[in-house]
Structure formats: structure tokens, C-alpha cells
Structure 1
Amino acid sequence: MRVYKAKDYNDLSRKAANIISAQIIMKPDAVLGLATGESPIGTYKQLIEWYNKGDLDFSEIRTVNLDEYKGLAADNPQSYAYYMHTNLFDSVNIPAVNINIPNGLEDDSVKECMRYDNVIHQLGGIDLQLLGIGGNGHIGFNEPGNNFNKETHCVTLTDNTIDANARFFASRDEVPRYAYTMGIKNIMQAKSILLIASGEAKAQAMYDSFYGPITPNVPGSILQLHNNVTVVADEAALALILKEHEITSGGLIK
């Protein structure tokens, strides 16, 4: 595991975008696993800037998104499909046919989960998976629990996650209670993983995920078992880790 300390959110976003852009340049038809939420917005903005300068080409890139709310249409402003088009897809030259996101309007959970797993398998797996992390250590919508769910599944969102996402809705009551998400196996089979985190609210989850025991009570802790994880986080998110470990300009290697 390699950990990079960013000066601030803008620096974090540039560092993360550098890693993703290197993947795109090295493998123009790479499969990118993408995330939503507040953390990646700056990263996507930087990728768009470099695309507009002619430095990046998305014409052969394939994408698979981590998750989607169950019950929301792709054109709903609160859906993750809408988020991705607004924050990245509509501003670069990625073909619509190359974009893959769980179908929030599919009522049959078993059918949709099997379909999405097949999509990932047919693409040959994920080259680079981008992740954020929740304050309770969740990755994607893999919430704390008694076991690691393996592949795509429908999850009941915890009160913690509903509360965290309520700010994006008119009221807490409007936050969907269910979501489709890639499972831990989907994520762990990615060839490389890039996790980004910002703010003191993530500090405990970051420490528990990378320096605590591996447990489904902290889903992010499973990443300790992956052989190619890069973490880019600001000082606030790394606060508890920095108390015990020095991160040099070359990054901390665990």
C-alpha cells in the first residue's frame, strides 16, 4: 500500500487525477471503476481540464460504476447516473455504449445483480477502481456487517449512510433506503485500487481500514489484502495515521 499526503483538496484531486490519467494513457481501452460522492468531484474536474487541453482521450475507455440507488431513474438529479454525466461523462468523449451503471429502476434485485456481474466479467475485470470511504468505513455501499458480500448485491442503507446523504435531498425522507452496489469481491479483483479521502470526519475510518484488524465491521479494512492500493488523502483524513507513521514526499509504503 502506498499512501500520499495531499496539501489540500485541490492537491488531492490533482494527485488522484494524475494516477487515473496515467492509466488512461498506458491503456487507452482501460476499464475504470468509478465512484460518486463529494470526494471525486475535483478529480473528475481535473480530468476534464486535461481532456480539454488535448492531453487525454476517453474514446476507448470503458467504465463501471460502483453503485446506484434502487428506485431512481438515470435522469433523476439525485441518481448516480445523473451525477456521473454531470461531473464527467458529458464533458469528455466517452461513447455512451462504454458506460455501465447499475439500473436503479430494475425491481428484480437478483436479475440486476447477475446482469451487472456479467457486465464486469465480460469487460475482463477492472483495471483501476476509484474509491471513496464512508465515515463508518464503507466502500461503495458495502456497509458494516457480519460478512463481506462478494459480488453485486442490493443493500439496505444504514441510518448513518442515509443521514450522510440526506444533504443531497430535499429531506431525509426522500433518501432511498436501498441501493445496488458492487461487492467486495468485485472491488478486490480490480488490478489496482485508488482510494481518496478528505476531511477529519474520515480520519477514524482511514485508520481502522488500514491499520486496524480486517473485519466486515469496517468494510474498507479488506483493502489491506490487496497488493496494489494507492491512497491519496489530505492531512485531516490522515490525522490518526500520521500520529504513528511518517509520510515522505515519496509516499508511505506499507
Structure 2
Amino acid sequence: MRIITTESYDELSMAAASIVAGQIYLKPASVLGLTTGSTPEGMYGKLVAVHKAIGLDFSKVTTFNLDAYLGLGADDPQSYHHFMQKHFFDYVNVKPENIHIPDGLAKDVTGECRAYDAAIRAAGGIDLQLLGIGRNAHIGFNEPDVKFEAATHKVRLDDETIQANARFFEDETAVPRYAISMGIKTIMLARRVVLLASGWEKADAVKRAVLGSVSPATPASILQLHQDATIIADSAAASLLPEKFQHGEHEI
């Protein structure tokens, strides 16, 4: 596992965007696993800027989003479809047919999950998977005590996750209780994984993910076993790590 600690959120966003851009330059037809939430917004903004400034080409890229709320259609302003359009897809040249996001209105949720994993396999697997981390150390919507062998599946959101996401809705009661999420197995099959963490409220989760025991109680801890995993954390999110990990880049 590699740890990159940045002094600011802006530097975190730049570091993440540089990794994504490098992946596309090396392999124009890359398969990217994308994530949503406030942390990756800066990264998407910088990728859009690079696309506009020097023509970073997404035309051969295929994308698969980590998760989606159940019960929200693509046109809902709180859906992850809407988030991705607003922050990224509306401004770059990813072909619409190459964009994949779980269907939050699927009538057959089990079938949707199986089809999603099948589509990832058909695309050749994910080259670079981007992740955020929840306060309870979830990745995707894989909450604590999720089975590590799970593929894409229906999940019930923990109360802590619902409370954390309530800021995006009118109130907590409007937050969906269920979602479709790539499972730990699906995430671990990605050739490369990059997790982004920003803010003091993520510091404990980062510490447990990096230094704690590998356990379903801390879903992100499984990344300790991945062949090519990088955590990019700003100084606040890295604040509970040992001093030597709080600056620069290190291997664990």
C-alpha cells in the first residue's frame, strides 16, 4: 500500500487527477471505476480543466460507477447519475454508451447487480478504481461487517452513513435507505485502486484502514491486501497516522 499525504485538499485533487490522466495517457481505452461525494469533486474539476486545456481524450474510456441509491432515477437531482453529469460527464468527451451507473429504479435488483458485474467483465475488468471512504471506513456503500467475497449487491445503509449524507437532501428522512454497490470482491479485482480521503472526520477511518487489522468491521482495511493500492489523504485526514506518514509519499 502506498500513502500520499498532501498539505491541502487542492493538492489532493491534483494528485488524484494526475494519476487518472496518466492512466489515460498510457492506455487511452482505460476502464475507470468512478466514485461520487464531496471528496472527488475537486479531482473531477481538474480533469475537466486538463481536458479543456490540452485535450485529455476520454473518447475511448469506459466508466463504471461504484454505486447508486435505490429508488432514485437518473433525473433525480440527488442521484449519482445527476452528480456525474453535473461534475464531470457534461464537460468531457466520454461517450454516453461507455458510461455505466447502476439503475436505481431496477425492478429486478439482483438481476441488475449480476448484469453490472457481467458488464465489467465484458469490458475487460477495471484498470483504475477510484474510492472515497466513509466515517465508518466503508468503501462504495459496503458498510462495516459486509462480506469480503460479495460482488455487486443490494445494501442497507447504516444510520451513520444516512446521517452523513443527509446534508445533500432536504432532511434525513429523504435519504434512501438502500443502494446498489460494487462489492468488495468487485473492487479488489480492479488492477489498481486509489482511495481519496479529506477532512478531520475521516482521520480515524484512514488510521484503521491503513494500520488496523484486516476485518469486515473496517471495510477499507481490505485494501492492505490489494496488489496496487494508493491512499491519497490531505493533512487533516492523515492526522492520526504516525508522524512519518503525515508528509509526502510512503510505502507500507
The answer to whether 1:186 aligns with 2:186 is yes
Counterpart in the other structure of 2:173: 173
Gap regions ≥5 residues in structure 1: none
CA contact (8 A) 2:207 2:240 kept: yes
Alpha-carbon distance, 1:145 to partner: 1.4
Gap regions ≥5 residues in structure 2: none
Counterpart CA distance in 2 for 1:151 and 1:189 is 10
Counterpart CA distance in 2 for 1:18 and 1:211 is 26
Percent of pairs with identical residues: 49
Counterpart CA distance in 1 for 2:134 and 2:216 is 14
CA contact (8 A) 2:235 2:246 kept: no
Counterpart in the other structure of 2:251: 253
The answer to whether 1:219 aligns with 2:219 is yes
Counterpart in the other structure of 2:10: 10
Q: Secondary structure at the match of 1:33?
A: strand
> 1:223-247: CA deviations, max 9, x gaps?
000010111111110011134x345
Q: Secondary structure at the match of 1:63?
A: strand
User: What TM-score do you get using the length of structure 1 for normalisation?
Assistant: 0.97
Q: Secondary structure at the match of 1:141?
A: coil
CA contact (8 A) 1:142 1:149 kept: no
CA contact (8 A) 2:147 2:184 kept: no
Counterpart CA distance in 2 for 1:124 and 1:158 is 32
Counterpart CA distance in 1 for 2:125 and 2:19 is 19
Counterpart in the other structure of 1:120: 120
Counterpart CA distance in 2 for 1:32 and 1:156 is 25
Counterpart in the other structure of 2:93: 93
> 1:11-70: CA deviations, max 9, x gaps?
110011000000011000000000000000000000000000124000000000000000
Matches within 5 A, 1:1-254: 1-145=1-145, 147-243=147-243, 245-246=244-245, 249=248, 251-254=249-252
Q: Secondary structure at the match of 1:232?
A: strand
CA contact (8 A) 2:194 2:229 kept: yes
> 1:56-88: CA deviations, max 9, x gaps?
000000000000000100010000011001100
Of the structure 1 ranges 99-108 and 39-48, higher mean CA displacement relative to structure 2 is found in 99-108
Q: Secondary structure at the match of 1:241?
A: coil
Q: Secondary structure at the match of 2:241?
A: helix
User: What TM-score do you get using the length of structure 2 for normalisation?
Assistant: 0.98
Of the structure 1 ranges 141-150 and 29-38, higher mean CA displacement relative to structure 2 is found in 141-150
CA contact (8 A) 2:102 2:112 kept: yes
Counterpart CA distance in 2 for 1:66 and 1:75 is 18
Counterpart CA distance in 2 for 1:60 and 1:43 is 20
Counterpart CA distance in 1 for 2:91 and 2:60 is 15
